[in-house]
Structure 1
Amino acid sequence: MILDCYQCSSCYFEDKERSSRIDPATISAQQSRVDFRNVLVIFVCVEIYDDRQELKQAADEFEAMSDLIGKRPIVLCPNVHLSMDRAPEKQAAWMIAELERMLIERGYDVHCLSFGYHKQYGIECNGNVGSVVGRRFYGSEQKQFLRLLTRLGVCPPDSPPDNMPAWASMLTERRLEVMGSRRETYKAAKNMLKDQLDSTGRSELWTCMLFEGERQPVDDYLGALYEIIEDYPDVRVHRAMNLSVPGFSNAARHLFRKYPDAIESGRLRIYNSQVSDIEFLLTRGAVLLAFPQIPRQAGSHAGEISFGIYCKNKDFAKNLIQWYRAFMVDARFGWIRTESELNTIINELEEEMFQDKSRESERKR
């Protein structure tokens, strides 16, 4: 809930036109021009997932403002434009009516303006510390995150907090571990690989390696990965590499020559990566994301790892694996099965880079 508050020496409001964008059943009776003097004007916007918790916080805030500027009549004016996360009309109209009722019960003189009209208005504010006050009541962390998921299209607008996706609870419940250095990050990666060797049944790894240019501690991690490819035939490894970078394309060629049997059988699957600023290591039960610093030298690799984020949760990992398949891997090429196919793709990517540089040079001229 958002409140935009003005201490006014005088103001007026007049309904001009009914809104054509909301449910007609929620539009109240039209009001003629009304004038006020020495009032507190509150433009109020109800947001999705607001409930009695936010109403109580708003009412408590009015008492705090009364201590600051003195108790005076309140004018409540609905304003849907204060938030991108605005509530449906029925919820908003009910919440504003409830806020009016709560304030009246606390002894305030309240004038609630019409709902569902474009208004013409004018206000004159007193020039003191309480002239303009803005407040926003976010509610619980779950509500805040659910608003974000709704805005991103992950959840429909009418989803209650209990319907938040299981993987999203990892974020609100603070179950993510932050690896504060590259050494800690690679240590977590190595432990994830070790867990795969200790597990029973067929295991699977999804990697997106962008930091091949590093030395220690990446060697230990890569050594563990190569050990899996060589000695554990029941583990499948998906490896996405940015083949437009010469260092990575050469590393991919090396894998085709070093592990031809693993590639032919599908135990080692090579892809072109579409990203250049994040490193992934995924298993069916854990997620590791690693983030780089600014590279020391452009064109070699994405840069040394600055920090990592680790989460051990099957639901979270399942969703990240789907994201890996949909967005990390270049769908134009998919799974690269032979070295000749790899060379064709590398040549195509090099040609694309050449054309891009040519167009950039032309544009600068």
Structure 2
Amino acid sequence: MFPRSMFESEHEQFRESVRKFLEAEAVPYHEQWEESGQVDRSLWRKAGEHGFLCPTVTEEYGGVGVDFRYNAVITEEISRLGLSGLAGLSLHSDIVVPYILNNASDELKQKYLPRCLTGELITAIAMTEPGTGSDLQGIKTTAVADGDHYVVNGAKTFITNGQLADLVIVVCKTNMDPEAGAGAFSLILVEADSEGFQRGKNLKKAGMKAQDTSELFFENVQVPKQNLIGDEGAGFFYLMGELPQERLSVAIGAVASSEGILEHTVNYVKERKAFNRPVAAFQNTQFKLAELDAEITAMRVFIDRCLELHLEGKLDAVGASKAKLLSTELQGKVMDECLQLHGGYGYMWEYPVARAWADARVQRIYGGTSEVMKLIIGRSLIA
């Protein structure tokens, strides 16, 4: 494997602990979770007990306040083992909780963060709506001020952790002026036991079958005004500030998943025979594997550099878009080529490559589609 300078000895010790935990507590149950459509809540509690949730949360809120490399280690090990049902853990730690940690009042942090660390509170973020997709400025969910509350009305879809979430960040309009532009949107924390909040069905997906994904509905949900994250009208700017980390997290997982499936495929073609020879003996197989290995190595170096930049506070929207675009497009190619090398068996769900192939497809959609990534990069070139 190409040497990496990104991680220090303590990160590698942490990686070993994460891997052992996942192999013991997740791998044996993942197929069962695929059938039930969601991960058992007990895994969240166990992950919290081992310190595998929200590593960057600071000590004053019950955390350890380490850097994002620890998050990266968790995402890599989940992805390398093909545990797509645990994507919600990364969303919780890498995406949702940072909105609270970086932008919410101290009162909200004290109220929610300690329980996010233990797995007692599972979080989600509700951005996407029916008909809006990647167009965040097309959001129609509203939060209308009424005394010391907001009244939230609207619908969201494709919400990761939607079935299990106890706390949801809802992206909504608080300013109905058509001229308000990006200043129309705010982020509000809604507790799942609030009257008027309803979960839709657990959506059936082409992949990531163990990860719960839902519709959410808000009908006259009263939320205390103190549950506003940061300033009213600043929601869109908070979203833009956190998106680079979200897209980097997706990219980190894409590369680790590609590495894991390439390793599976190398082992498979050494054992599988065709025409009385191991499949690995054919030049076409060797050339395909060589090409994928070289491209994954190059991508690993690039994503590690993006991680370095993020730790330095220098990873901007364009850099994160490049990371997500290139890594997820390569992931799709790796899965397709590796499945092909498995032949008919590659299309069978019991083989890791089939699951990984199906799971990978959404990587080019959520967190901003590949087309949106190209728009961001393209606009930066001609600005």
Band of TM-score, shorter chain: under 0.3
Q: TM-score, with normalisation over the residues of structure 1?
A: 0.23
Greater per-residue helix proportion = 2
Which structure: larger Rg? 1
Q: TM-score, with normalisation over the residues of structure 2?
A: 0.22
